[in-house]
């Protein structure tokens, strides 16, 4: 399944630098607002050491990791919901992603201009949040206008939807985003009629100077973002976009040595990618053969036939059984045959709920 993550923020906060580091796509990055107009798109692999271990056992021709599609969306500014700074175009790009990485500038640098004139992460977050809320309010109002006629004709579902949207608008008036509201499953279903920007899950990427990356607990800018993330039940990951850009140019061995010198266990981007992957409740299962070892992305609680369908629709349509072994059992017994000898390979049916790390061979007939 395709996972799309949008990178947003005010102009000149480090979005494109971060995007370049993630994808090595060479998106233009410069010290002036609206450098990015059309969204740059790049595919990045999800870091997963399990693939290497599986490959050591199977010796496949190739390894295919899970992937995330990152979209570098141009910097939003105050008034974007009313069209300022090409805002309407940029907001439409956000509607097309599954989750948002909100890059927040948490560093001082007189050589890098700030669109508001000075650094204030709280103000910057509120600016973006309010523009998204205003855009959502406009979308909701248009939907409510359509529902009025449907309600007059006796449409009960339209009346239920109108009730939920009225509740939503009351929260918007308080500056509360849709993803902070505890909707029931039924209410969430009704909200699908409106493509809400503020319903998307958010990760805050606090962009800091290199010297601050190991001292985030004493960093006042970051701590202000931490407080906001805590209130919103969002995630926050401190990153240094400039360091990540340097790491992106290194091979795996050099990358490890560089991180060790910085006192880091892993790069901020690896944390960011994994967080984006898990934020939407996704997980991985594997297929492992001599042709390839591949990671497949599915949502948690997916049943075996639907998981098979991610490989090919015929697999789901003609599903018979799934031959399943856990990652631990596979690696501890040097592969499928060893796990089978220990009785650790299971045959699962249509009701089996996939587990993260399952290694599967699907039986099907069409």
Residue 74 confidence (pLDDT): 63
How far apart (Å, rounded) are the C-alpha atoms in residues 365 and 294? 22
Q: Where are the alpha helices (DSSP H) in 5-110?
A: 15-23, 49-58, 87-95
Fold of 301-364: Ubiquitin-like (UB roll) (3.10.20)
Binding residues for ATP: 12-17
Residue 210 confidence (pLDDT): 81
Task: Give, for all 366 residues of the chain, the pLDDT tens digit.
Answer: 667 888 888 888 888 888 888 777 444 443 433 333 355 777 888 889 999 999 999 999 999 998 888 888 765 555 544 544 444 455 777 888 889 999 999 988 877 767 777 889 999 999 989 988 998 999 999 999 999 999 998 989 999 999 999 999 999 999 999 999 999 999 999 999 898 999 999 999 999 988 778 777 778 899 999 999 999 888 999 999 889 888 888 888 898 899 888 888 888 888 888 888 878 889 999 999 999 999 999 999 999 999 999 999 999 999 999 999 999 999 999 999 999 999 999 999 999 999 999 999 999 997
Binding residues: 12-17
How far apart (Å, rounded) are the C-alpha atoms in residues 126 and 132? 10
Strand, helix or coil for residue 218:
helix
**Which single residue is written with the structure tokens 């909707």?**
183
How far apart (Å, rounded) are the C-alpha atoms in residues 19 and 245? 9
* Sheet strand arrangement including 67-72: 40-45, 67-72, 4-8, 99-105, 202-207, 235-239
Asked if the domains 4-279 and 301-364 are classified in one and the same CATH topology, the answer is no
Contact 200, 100 (CB under 8 A): yes
Residue 35 confidence (pLDDT): 39
Q: Which CATH superfamily is domain 4-279 in?
A: P-loop containing nucleotide triphosphate hydrolases (3.40.50.300)
Domain boundaries, the chain: 4-279, 301-364
How far apart (Å, rounded) are the C-alpha atoms in residues 103 and 174? 24
Q: What is the pTM of this model?
A: 0.82
Contact 273, 205 (CB under 8 A): no
């Amino acid at each position: 399944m395709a996972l799309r993550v949008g990178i947003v923020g005010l102009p000149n906060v480090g979005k494109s630098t971060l995007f370049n580091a993630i994808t090595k796509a060479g998106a233009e990055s410069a010290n002036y607002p609206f450098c990015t107009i059309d969204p740059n798109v790049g595919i990045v692999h999800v870091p997963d050491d399990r693939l290497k271990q599986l490959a050591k056992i199977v010796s496949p021709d190739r390894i295919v990791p899970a992937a995330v599609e990152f979209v570098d969306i141009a910097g939003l500014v105050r008034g974007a919901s009313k069209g300022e700074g090409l805002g309407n175009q940029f907001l439409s790009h956000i509607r097309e992603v599954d989750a948002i990485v909100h890059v927040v500038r948490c560093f001082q640098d007189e050589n890098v201009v700030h669109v508001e004139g000075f650094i204030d992460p709280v103000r910057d977050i509120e600016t973006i949040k309010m523009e998204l809320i205003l855009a959502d309010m406009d979308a909701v109002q248009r939907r409510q206008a359509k529902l009025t006629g449907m309600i007059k004709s006796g449409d009960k579902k339209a009346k239920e939807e109108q009730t939920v949207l009225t509740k939503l608008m009351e929260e918007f008036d308080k500056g509360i985003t849709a993803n902070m509201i505890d909707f029931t499953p039924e209410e969430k279903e009704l909200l699908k009629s409106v493509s809400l920007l503020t319903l998307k899950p958010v990760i805050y990427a606090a962009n800091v100077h290199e010297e601050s990356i190991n001292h985030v607990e004493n960093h006042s800018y970051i701590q202000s973002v931490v407080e906001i993330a805590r209130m919103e039940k969002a995630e926050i990951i401190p990153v240094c976009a400039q360091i990540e850009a340097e790491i992106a140019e290194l091979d795996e061995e050099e990358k490890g040595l560089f991180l060790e010198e910085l006192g880091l266990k892993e790069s901020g981007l690896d944390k960011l990618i994994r967080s984006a992957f898990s934020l939407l409740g996704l997980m991985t299962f594997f297929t492992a053969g001599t042709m390839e070892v591949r990671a497949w992305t599915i949502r948690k609680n997916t049943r075996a036939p639907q998981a098979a369908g991610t490989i090919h629709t015929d697999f789901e349509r003609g599903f018979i059984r799934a031959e399943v072994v856990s990652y631990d059992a596979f690696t501890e017994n040097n592969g499928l045959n060893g796990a089978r000898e220990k009785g650790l390979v299971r045959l699962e049916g249509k009701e089996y709920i996939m587990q993260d790390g399952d290694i599967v061979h699907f039986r099907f007939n069409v």
